[in-house]
Each structure stands twice: as structure tokens, then as C-alpha cells.
Amino acid sequence: MAGTLALTLHPSIAELGAAEWDACAGSANPFVSHAFLSAVEESGSAGPRTGWMPLHAALRDGTGRLLACTPMYVKAHSWGEYVFDQGWADAYERAGGRYYPKLQVAVPFSPVPGPRLLVRPDVPDAAALRSALAGAIARVCEERGFSSAHVTFCTEAEWHALKAEGWLGRMNLQFHWRNEGYRTFDDFLAALSSRKRKQIRKERARAAEGLCLRTLRGAEITPAHWDAFFRFYRATVDRKWGQAYLTRRFFPLLGERLGEKVVLMWAEQEGRPVAGALNLLGADTLYGRNWGALIDQPFLHFELCYYRAVEFAIAHGLARVEAGAQGAHKVSRGYLPVPTFSAHWIVHPGLRRAVAEFLGREVPAVEREIAAIAAEASPFREDREG
């Protein structure tokens, strides 16, 4: 099959039709959809301003039909990725190498696990296409002088497939909530230990004091909501000394293009918007995206980002809530550790050996950490888990 394929590289998602891209991406994960990626690019969020330069890869057959593709970016830094390789860059550059530019196969600014090597489901040999795409990315690295390529937050199946192609496998962890067939939020609470159950009830009561809390979806979200949410976003970024990658235009574009897949947890104080949490809805998962607030209300972050997300998931029969990167504090709220995966192609043999040795120690350490947290910090009743 590889001999019949042609690789093309595209500096804009607009060069690839939405229908053909989404035929490869599928509909389960909204972050790899043409709609999301085009909103990121057209809003100026991914581009020269932020140093995420699109270079999407596409594989076509002899008839020109798109069979596989991947969201890919040229990076001159390592910001906005959530899988940290600055130590690798520093070591390589101290040794006289040039780590940047590099290739990043990812969804910009979004630590959301999902498919990265996107293949049409109706092709006869999807595994061969993923292999061809992995090989093509590696060749682009070497032919164009990139130090490395990084496929971040990929699926576990892709992780194993990439390692079989000679890529280096890395593991990290996040905290996800899993629906065990709960009918109501109280059903979920009943699965927790008494102490954790009481803690969550107290936190929810404190968070709601003096506020009107709502869940908005799709057409219910107006331009005024997006204006307010951008203020929340900027206020939170400024407070944490981060970088505001997302522009004002991104949010209404997202709402316009993803419609009912956009879910906004909302807080008002005496009619004034004061906080919100943005989520995207997948086939069986609610994905936490961004949060922001203008007030410092105890436990409001937990209420909007975690508890209302769980309520939404239960009401809509979803299997999971993925609330983003970091946050061991999520464990006591019912979000348990799960592994996340990335794969790395390093061109220079010496750097490759050093990274491989590092990962040989890091991956087992992450596996032990996940097991220890699940065993020692789980908020669920022992009789429920045993």
C-alpha cells in the first residue's frame, strides 16, 4: 500500500476539506474535528502569534482520496503542550545541538487524550496506514532538519503502534471520572466513603452561596456569554502568570462550529456573570476545556469544573468526564488516575539514546504512581471497590 500513497503537507487546515478530514477523524472526539482545529487557526490562536505553525500531514491514494491525516505543527518552543520536554531541549543545546524547530502532532493548548493518526474507518488496512503516516512524519523530520517529532496525548493503541515503528514511548497521568451506571448525583455520592460524601456536599453548598448556577448548551450560549467568558479566561490567565493563547474570536467561532457539543457551566451573582467552565461533548465523554472567574468564591472551581460536569454526564448517560491536566486534588472528588500516552521520534542518535534511558526509568515510575494513588487515596468505599 505504501507505494501507492502520496504525502502532502498543509500550512492551513482550510486547505483540507471538512468532510474528508472528518471522515478520518470520526465524530467521537471533538478536539480532532475540522471544526475545532479551524476555529483555533482562524481565530489566530494557533499561528505566528503563539508559535504554533500548522503543517498538517495528509496521505492520499492514487485517486486523490484522503485516507489518513494528522494535526501537526512546527514549534520553536515547548509551550502549550502539557508534555514537558524542555529538559531534553536544554541538554541537547548544551551539547551543541539545535532542538528547535520541532514537529508537534497534537491539538494546540489541549491536554485531551484522543486519536492523532487519523485513518478512515472504511479502509481495508488501517494499521498499515498508521504505519505509513508514522514513517512519513519521521522522514519529514529528517528531510527538513527538525530535531524531533512528538505525538502527544495519543490513544494507547497508537502508542503501541508507534513504539513498534521505533518511536520512544512516554507515559503520564491524568484524573478522570468514570460513570458506573449512576442514575443521579446522589447515586455517585453513595459510592463514596462517608467522609468524602459529606465533604462534597459541604463544598457544593459553599460554592453556591449567593450565586445562580446554570448549565448552558449550544444555542443557549449567546455572544454576551462569550464576551463574559473571555473576561473570565483572561482574568484567570493573568492571575496565574500564564499566556493567553486563545483569542477573543476563538470562543464564538467554537460555539458556531461545534453547536450542541459546547457545554458551558455558568455562575452569576445578582445577575452579573462571574465565572464559567467550558466543556466539549464527545460521543461518550465530557471534556473539560477552560475555566475562569472574576470572584474568589470557595469551592466554585470544583463546582463548575467537576461536580456539575459529573451531573451532566450522569444525566446524559456519558461514560466519562475528563477534566484536563494535573490536579491530584481531583481524586477526593471521584476522579481517579489514568495513564496518558505520547510517542517521540528523535533524529540525533545520541539524544535518542539519552531520552530512551530517561523514559526507561520514567514510565515504570508513572505506573507505580498511578497504582499507589488508586490504592491509597481513592475516595470510594472499600466494599464498593472490593
Q: What is the pLDDT of residue 14?
A: 97
Q: What is the pLDDT of residue 375?
A: 87
Phi, psi of 59 (to 5 degrees): -110, 125
Residue 2, pLDDT > 50, answer no
The band of 238, judged by pLDDT with boundaries at 50, 70 and 90, is low
Can you tell me whether residue 80 is helix, strand or coil?
coil
The per-residue pLDDT for range 127-140, each reduced to its tens digit, is 999 999 999 999 99
Can you tell me whether residue 30 is helix, strand or coil?
helix
Residue 386, pLDDT > 50, answer no
Task: Compute how many other C-beta atoms are within 10 angstroms of the C-beta atom of residue 18.
Answer: 16
Task: Compute how many other C-beta atoms are within 10 angstroms of the C-beta atom of residue 32.
Answer: 24
> CA 186 to CA 195: how far, in whole Å?
14
Mean pLDDT is lowest, of 23-37, 236-250, 271-285, for: 236-250
Which carries the bigger pLDDT value, residue 125 or residue 321?
321
The yes/no answer on whether domain 180-318 falls in CATH 3.40.630.30 is: yes
CATH class, domain 2-174+338-375, is alpha beta
Q: What is the pLDDT of residue 206?
A: 98
Which carries the bigger pLDDT value, residue 386 or residue 242?
242
Q: What is the pLDDT of residue 240?
A: 60
> CA 283 to CA 195: how far, in whole Å?
33
The per-residue pLDDT for range 32-63, each reduced to its tens digit, is 999 999 999 999 999 999 999 999 999 999 99
Q: What b-and-e string marks burial along 291-312, b requiring 16 or more CB atoms within 10 Å of the CB?
A: bbbbeebebbbbbbbbbbbbbb
Residue 385, pLDDT > 70, answer no
Mean pLDDT of the chain: 95
Are 55 and 103 a contacting pair, CB within 8 Å?
Answer: yes
Q: What is the pLDDT of residue 1?
A: 46
CATH 3.40.630.30 domain extents, the chain? 2-174+338-375, 180-318
Which carries the bigger pLDDT value, residue 236 or residue 45?
45
Task: Compute how many other C-beta atoms are within 10 angstroms of the C-beta atom of residue 106.
Answer: 28
